[in-house]
Structure 1
Amino acid sequence: MTVRRVAVAVALALALAGCSSATEPPKAAAPVPSSVPVTAPFKGLRPTSVKIPKIGADSSLISVGLKTDGSISVPSVHKPMQAAWYQLSPVPGDVGPAVVLGHVDGDKQPGIFYKLKDLVPGDEVDVDRSDGKKLKFVVDHVTQVPKETFPREAVYGNSDKPELRLITCGGVFDHAAHSYKDNIVVYANLANA
């Protein structure tokens, strides 16, 4: 695993420990130093939207980076229908696992990835990019994993083909921690390479 991938894996794991309506970053791990702003306009090639017809998910994509505490910046819980692309992961369509995040809920309403757990192999995910390309990914498999045993290598490890990871929270809501106990991860492969 490259140094960049390790930093990505640590940052995403930290961020996902506090998804849903949590407003504080997780405190369990040491911060990852970063000069990346919380959310910065991304001037290079980037994905602009994600659409998942089966579950009615359709969102523009904002670009997010790392917060100063090393966790990933996620869309505001006050805008739970907004999805985000993690700009330190590959651009969808490039080799490697591109990462798209979305809330399962927020502000007491369903989020953009509320039904993500309902996807099955063969379902399609459409991603548009700033260069005009329209990409189609096909779901390979979906997992629900406890946050304590998040499979970092399987989710963020290098690959030799364009892949997509869709990530949200799931499972039981822990009211004391203000967070869900699990993550839902969708693994998808580029169909129209």
Structure 2
Amino acid sequence: MRRFSNVAIASVTVVSLCTGAWLLGSGEETHAPPQPSAAEARSGAADPRSAPALPPSPPDRIRIPSIRVDAPLMGLGLTRSGSLGVPPAGEKNLAGWYEAGTTPGETGTAIVAGHVDNADGPAVFYDLGAVKKGSAIDVDRRDGSTARFTVDAVEVYKAAGFPDQKVYGAADRPELRVITCGGGYSRSTGYQGNVVVFAHLTGSRR
């Protein structure tokens, strides 16, 4: 499998996730998904606790118990514009991972993305903005192992100022980013930014 630096992904990475089809169709702007508070932003030095890196292995499933996510993962590539492809909009409980980059659990920054909603209602990462620091994220891998990540921060960015290097840049330990849409909603433009969960590997099991 050919590997690429994650930072090569364009800043419009998840634009295809962000139309807000359900809110637009139902007029439910008042029921927009939760957004992270300032208290969940990254502060100070990185958490020094980290588990040893795992060998590369494609992921099959992601689980975030605090928001009741338990979803299969499909591989995602890049579009012609350099943005990350997205899972089919009709598959509301399906997320994807950037398969030309780091696999979750190995050294580096692994990327997972999923829809916040679709035309029928909330989708897999609708509640991602409600995740708190210290929450667990488990990723089941094809080699039979499960990589456990601990959340370091949950932040929201406007699309125009998305910090590519901060989100996609190389890491010297196993890290994970989980991305969906957020940052407010407008009927004319859809979601105005992205919610990003930052996490690092703190354990594994078979």
TM-score by length of 1: 0.80
Consecutive unaligned residues of structure 2, counting only runs of 5 or more, are 22-55
Asked whether the equivalents of residues 20 and 191 of structure 2 are also in contact (C-alpha less than 8 Å), the reply is: no
Give the alignment partner of residue 15 of structure 1, picking from 13, 26, 39.
13
Partner of 1:181: 192
Go from structure 1 to structure 2 and tell me whether the alpha carbon gap of 1:145 and 1:173 turns closer, same or farther (over 3 Å shift). same
RMSD over aligned Cα atoms:
2.0
The structural deviation recorded for 1:81 is 1.7
Q: Distance in 2 between matches of 1:58 and 1:144?
A: 22
The structural deviation recorded for 1:112 is 0.6
Go from structure 1 to structure 2 and tell me whether the alpha carbon gap of 1:12 and 1:63 turns closer, same or farther (over 3 Å shift). farther
The structural deviation recorded for 1:107 is 1.5
Judge which range, 77-86 or 157-166, deviates more.
Answer: 77-86
Asked whether the equivalents of residues 7 and 170 of structure 2 are also in contact (C-alpha less than 8 Å), the reply is: no
Go from structure 1 to structure 2 and tell me whether the alpha carbon gap of 1:146 and 1:174 turns closer, same or farther (over 3 Å shift). same
Partner of 2:159: 147
Q: For 1:109-154, what per-residue CA distance to the aligned partner results, in whole angstroms no more than 9, with x for missing partners?
A: 1111111111111100000100011111000010011111111111
Q: Distance in 2 between matches of 1:139 and 1:16?
A: 21
Go from structure 1 to structure 2 and tell me whether the alpha carbon gap of 1:22 and 1:68 turns closer, same or farther (over 3 Å shift). farther
Q: Residues 20-169 of structure 1 correspond to what in structure 2 (within 5 A)?
A: 20-21=18-19, 45-169=57-181
Go from structure 1 to structure 2 and tell me whether the alpha carbon gap of 1:131 and 1:12 turns closer, same or farther (over 3 Å shift). farther
Asked whether the equivalents of residues 20 and 117 of structure 2 are also in contact (C-alpha less than 8 Å), the reply is: no
Q: Distance in 2 between matches of 1:12 and 1:49?
A: 25
Higher relative contact order (CA 8 A, sep 6+): 2
Q: Distance in 2 between matches of 1:22 and 1:120?
A: 24
Letter in 2 for 1:13: S
Asked whether the equivalents of residues 166 and 187 of structure 1 are also in contact (C-alpha less than 8 Å), the reply is: yes
The structural deviation recorded for 1:22 is 7.2
Q: Distance in 1 between matches of 2:130 and 2:12?
A: 25
Go from structure 1 to structure 2 and tell me whether the alpha carbon gap of 1:135 and 1:63 turns closer, same or farther (over 3 Å shift). same
Q: Distance in 1 between matches of 2:114 and 2:69?
A: 10
Aligned-pair identity in percent equals 36
TM-score by length of 2: 0.75
Consecutive unaligned residues of structure 1, counting only runs of 5 or more, are 24-43
